[in-house]
Amino acid sequence: MAHKSDLIATDIEAYLKAHEEKTLLRFLTCGSVDDGKSTLIGRMLYESKMIFEDQLAALESDSKKVGTQGEDIDFALLVDGLASEREQGITIDVAYRFFSTDRRKFIVADTPGHEQYTRNMATGASTADLAIILVDARKGVLTQTKRHSFIVSLLGIRNVVLAINKMDLVGYSQETYDKIVADYREFATHLGKDGEIPFEIMPMPVSALKGDNIVEKSAGMEWFDGPTLLEYLETVPVQQAQLEKPFRMPVQWVNRPNLDFRGFCGQIATGVVKVGDQIKALPSAKESKVKSIVTMDGNLEEAIAGQSVTLTLEDEIDISRGDVISEAKRPAEVANQFETTILWMAEDAMLPGRTYIIKTGTIMAQATVAEPKYKVNVNTLEQLPAKKLDLNEIGECNLHLDRRIAFDPYDDNRDTGSFILIDRLTNATVGCGMIRFALRRSSNIHWQSVDVSKQARSKMKGQRPAVLWFTGLSGSGKSTIANLIEKKLSSIGRHTYLLDGDNVRHGLNKDLGFTDADRVENIRRVSEVARLMADAGLITLVSFISPFRSERRMARQLMDEGEFLEIFVDTPLDIAEERDVKGLYKKARAGEIKNFTGIDSPYEPPLDPEIRVNTVEMTAEEAADAIIVELEKRGILEG
């Protein structure tokens, strides 16, 4: 006969195994400040731990308690602990917490309620299956309630618990509860198309502090016949929706340990894949069949959303990191231009024309942002005109990528329709967004091949194409030096063109002002012109203040390797202002010119320019001669 302790150990092992196999629900709590989010989370963590320990204790046939780690939780201390985190400033980030009951595992994103932390709420919502939106029963639906609800609908969350909290402070009044629910439903009709509410609403009267309708039914609210909060969270369906979507697996890396094995590794985003299934690799559109599904625990006949697997295929087709393996009959789309919705998350504004790194799935590319079509007033849902997006603002913007990528519209698939934007200089995440659809021009416009190449044009001119990019403060001497260099090059038979900042603003860029957004667009247009001139085989001299490193880097990346030379005309502000040939500094100091570089608009000097000249230490003629010598050393003047 087996020993009693062996039976207990076997039962516990079986229970823990079942715990591992439970479904997982990701949800977030949000709402206005002091609506009770921390208290609610504390109550659920406390109650769920009690449930979990009771189940383990029930496996004992004697009075000895088993399976418990640590002392029992004191609910008041737990809530105080959550509050102390906020006092220490941890609300700047999203706090993720894990708990479990006998039916399901949970990951809850505890997001701050303050308006300035809206970006953090969006971060928590981006991976959530469900949102608990808390409303203080004494205050009703507030502005922040509306803001968070809008973001929830925007990010595609389809299940919302409207938790009317602190019902004990309004005498458990059903009338108060019914009015808040009616107000919220009326507001929610404005979130969807044609008056449809974009998510399922489960209204629930609770008192997080007292525990009413959290785990146990409330004796004070017998009029409410719905489930408790935990009952609802345990039973709301989530995973099935992911399984019903078409199969998608972004390729994370290609595993080829030997010539006999080539596997494509990644986590299945949506759908189901089986051995023998016909798949399509995107963006190449090559097709094959699944030969095997390999995991650390052995081969599988099928795998589902959420699993990390390695797929081998029957055919040798070219697939790289960032590609998406799709169901062949219902493949993802491919494009490089999109209409998107962007939530801006950085202190520095999103400027149209600026290039950022976009990351979607496992691929990273260069993305240029167009001027917003509009931004949304999240308090009124009104669409407002906008030139840029500031911190926590949401707007509709077109994106242009430097390559075609596989995607699904966000409304169809959150996993393959979402992205983040990264600053190219700091590597900080500055925005998150949703792809709405591909622009028609993305598929209608194709690159036209021509027979006469850049190399052929350069050979005819007896030189190598180059872009000499002069940057520095107004009055530093950029235009003077560039003009001298062009004269010297012309005298020895070289083919050149000078793009000067003032001259270009008389024509191509006459519609632009001097705001940061206009400066970015100014440089974007000039960079594209310079690229075309380099393609023509010319030595192009660009003389622009170009105050931002990001735009100068963007210009560099448009050119071929070794073609772009950044020339920093390094003149201190006091010297440039002393010269003031055009009288601009005097006007800027008098307030007659706004957004003047060096006065009330920043200048970011180059960190590592190819050439640096100091016009305090040398004359313009000497600087021009020094640059010509450097061009000769680099072989640019040779045919």
Q: How confident is the model at residue 88 (pLDDT cuts 50, 70, 90)?
A: very low
What is d(CA 252, CA 301) in angstroms, rounded to the nearest whole number? Answer: 21
Pairwise CA distance, residues 156 & 140, whole Å:
24
pLDDT at 280: 96
| 174 burial type by CB count under 10 A (0-12 exposed, 13-18 middle, 19+ buried) | middle
In this prediction, residue 20 carries a pLDDT of 62
CATH class of 4-237: alpha beta
Secondary structure of residue 99 in the 3-state scheme: strand
Please give the pLDDT value at position 187.
Answer: 92
Mean pLDDT of 10-20: 56
Residues 6 or more apart whose Cβ sits within 8 Å of residue 463 = 494, 495, 537, 539, 636, 637, 638, 639
Residue type for position 124 = G
Structure-block tokens of residue 386: 């906008």
Range in 281-290, 296-305, 495-504, 571-580 the model is least confident about: 571-580
What distance in Å separates the CA atoms of residue 218 and residue 177, rounded to the nearest whole number? 14
Query: Which tens digit of pLDDT belongs to each residue from 292-322?
Result: 999 988 999 999 988 999 999 999 999 999 9
Sign of CA dihedral 64, 65, 70, 72: negative
Task: Give me the architecture of the 456-633 domain, per CATH.
Answer: 3-Layer(aba) Sandwich (3.40)
**CB distance 409 to 437 below 8 Å:** yes
Q: How confident is the model at residue 18 (pLDDT cuts 50, 70, 90)?
A: low
Q: Quick check: 368 and 524 in contact, CB under 8 A? A: yes
Cα–Cα distance for residue pair 304/53, rounded to 1 Å: 31
Q: Is the pLDDT of residue 423 over 80?
A: yes
Q: Which residue has the higher pLDDT, 492 or 260?
A: 492
Residue 399, C-beta contacts closer than 8 angstroms, at least 6 positions apart: 337, 338, 340, 358, 367, 368, 369, 370, 433
Share above pLDDT 70 across residues of the chain, in percent, rounded to a whole number = 86
Q: Which of 133, 144, 146 is nearest to 201 (CA)?
A: 133
Domain 334-443: homologous superfamily in CATH? Translation factors (2.40.30.10)
- The two tokens of residue 39 are 């208290």
| Mean pLDDT, residues 227-251 taken together | 88
54 pLDDT above the threshold of 80: no
Q: Has residue 66 got a pLDDT over 80? A: no
Beta bridge partners of 470: 543, 567
Q: Is 247 helix (H, G, I), strand (E, B) or coil?
A: coil
274-289: average pLDDT: 95
Q: Which architecture characterizes domain 242-327 according to CATH? A: Beta Barrel (2.40)
Give residue 87's pLDDT: 44
Q: pLDDT at residue 83 above 70?
A: no
Q: How confident is the model at residue 264 (pLDDT cuts 50, 70, 90)?
A: very high
Q: Are 126 and 28 in contact (CB under 8 A)?
A: no
Q: Residue ranges of the domains in the chain?
A: 4-237, 242-327, 334-443, 456-633
Q: Give the model's pLDDT for residue 448.
A: 66
- Given a cut of 80, is residue 223 above it in pLDDT? yes
pLDDT band at 285 (very low <50, low <70, confident <90, very high): very high
Point out which residues pair with 353 in neighbouring strands.
none
pLDDT score of 24: 85
Residue 24 CA to residue 2 CA, distance in Å, equals 35
Work out the percent of the chain whose per-residue pLDDT is above 90. Answer: 50
Alpha-carbon gap, residue 253 to 250, rounded angstroms: 9
The least confident of 114-118, 270-274, 547-551, 598-602 is 114-118
| Confidence at residue 70, expressed as pLDDT on a 0 to 100 scale | 34
pLDDT of residue 638: 76
- The CA angle 22-67-239, to the nearest 5 degrees, is 10
Q: Kindly report the pTM of this predicted structure.
A: 0.70
Alpha-carbon distance 489 to 487, whole Å?
Answer: 6
User: Looking at this protein, which amino acid is placed at residue 242?
Assistant: Q
Range name among 1-15, 238-252, 491-505 with the lowest pLDDT average:
1-15
pLDDT of residue 61: 38
The pLDDT, as a whole number, for residue 59 is: 45
Q: How confident is the model at residue 99 (pLDDT cuts 50, 70, 90)?
A: confident
Taking a C-beta distance cutoff of 8 angstroms, is the pair 387, 368 a contact? no
Radius of gyration of the chain (CA): 31
Rounded mean pLDDT, 565-584: 89
Neighbours of 530 (CB within 10 A): 26
The catalytic position among 207, 546, 550, 601 is 546
CB-based contact 385:374 (threshold 8 Å): yes
Q: Which of 87-101, 239-253, 361-375, 504-518 comes out lowest in average pLDDT?
A: 87-101
pLDDT at residue 268 in the model:
93
pLDDT of residue 411: 84
Give the separation between CA 610 and CA 466, rounded to whole angstroms. 13
Q: What pLDDT score was predicted for residue 595?
A: 82
Q: Do domains 242-327 and 456-633 have the same CATH topology?
A: no
Closest CA to 278 of 288, 269, 286: 288
The first and second tokens of residue 175, run together, are 């009338």
**453 flagged as catalytic:** no
- Mean pLDDT within 548-569: 92
pLDDT digits (tens, 9 = 90+) for 165-204: 999 999 999 999 999 999 999 999 988 877 889 899 999 9
Q: How far apart are CA 409 and CA 438, in angstroms?
A: 8
Kindly report the number of other CB atoms within 10 A of residue 400's CB atom.
16
Please spell the DSSP secondary structure of 41-52, one letter per residue. HHHHHHHHHHHH
- Angle of helix 75-87 relative to helix 37-57, nearest 10 degrees, comes to 140
Q: For tokens 């493949």, what's the residue?
A: 331
Q: Region 253-276: what's the mean pLDDT?
A: 91
